[in-house]
């Protein structure tokens, strides 16, 4: 069974962390409606959604992806790069404990889950303002017994690695080549985003189904031309907080 852990949009999201975007007003009620539609889209795809309550004092807490890295064998609890986000991990650890053994990235390591791209046994970690080499070294040590390869990837111009590249199909990545180099992903095939839509590289793969935003119609055409026909979910309000579709859930397989 495929499960997803999500968390309701915090009333404090207006005070979210921002790195590359100018702060503009966020409509809280619209953000919550869009998030609920996102959860419903997951349910329609056969996902059991475990929706955690709002964290009213943690502005970015809807972006649960940043708190953990879910693998079949275990879960790695992250140490988020922004101090304001470190308290988010505790409640996610409690939610994951029934399903996975837990490891914790320790200081001086820092890593956001949005910087972690997993394809098979290959893990790429963005070297950004939020994630560093110490965390990569710890991940390599944690995951060595399970046969994963972990490597760092330079990222330019965006917050997270998965702002620049995500998995769109089994062996295919959707990529903004201005923000990350194709050569860092050997053996993969690529669909490039339309250059007029620089933030369009974030697609959520749920089983074999892609979930995508309608905000990027030119890149959507490129996906469809490649034979990928996504389910469309609007996350435009959360995009004002530098969020995207992958940010809002922790997806994992479980037997119960």
Which positions are annotated as active-site residues?
160, 247
Q: Output the furthest CA–CA distance in the chain (Å, rounded).
A: 46
Secondary structure E strands in the chain: 2-7, 48-52, 68-70, 75-77, 102-104, 116-119, 122-127, 149-154, 165-169, 172-175, 189-192, 204-206, 209-212, 231-232, 250-253
Number of H-type helices and E-type strands within the chain: 6, 15
Vertex 217 angle, CA 5 and 41, to 5°: 25
């Amino acid at each position: 069974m495929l499960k997803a852990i999500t968390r309701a949009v915090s009333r404090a999201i207006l005070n979210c962390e921002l790195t590359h975007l100018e702060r503009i007003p966020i409509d809280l009620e619209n953000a919550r409606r869009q998030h609920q539609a996102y959860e419903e889209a997951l349910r329609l795809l056969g996902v059991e959604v475990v929706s955690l309550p709002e964290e009213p004092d943690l502005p970015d807490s809807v972006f649960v992806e940043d708190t953990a890295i879910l693998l079949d064998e275990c879960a790695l609890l992250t140490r988020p790069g922004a101090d304001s986000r470190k308290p988010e991990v505790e409640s996610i650890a409690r939610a994951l404990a029934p399903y996975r053994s837990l490891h914790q990235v320790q200081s001086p390591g820092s890593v956001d889950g949005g910087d972690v791209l997993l394809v098979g046994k290959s893990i790429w970690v963005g070297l950004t303002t939020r994630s560093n080499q110490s965390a990569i070294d710890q991940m390599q040590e944690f995951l060595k017994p399970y046969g994963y390869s972990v490597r760092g990837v330079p990222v330019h111009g965006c917050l997270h690695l998965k702002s620049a590249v995500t998995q769109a199909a089994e062996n295919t990545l959707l990529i903004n080549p201005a923000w990350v180099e194709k050569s860092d992903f050997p053996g993969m095939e690529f669909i490039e985003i339309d250059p007029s839509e620089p933030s369009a590289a974030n697609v959520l793969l749920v089983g074999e189904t892609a979930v995508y935003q309608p905000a990027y119609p030119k890149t959507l055409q490129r996906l469809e031309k490649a034979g990928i026909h996504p389910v469309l979910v609007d996350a435009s309000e959360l995009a004002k907080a530098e969020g995207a579709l992958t940010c809002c859930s922790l997806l994992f397989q479980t037997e119960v």
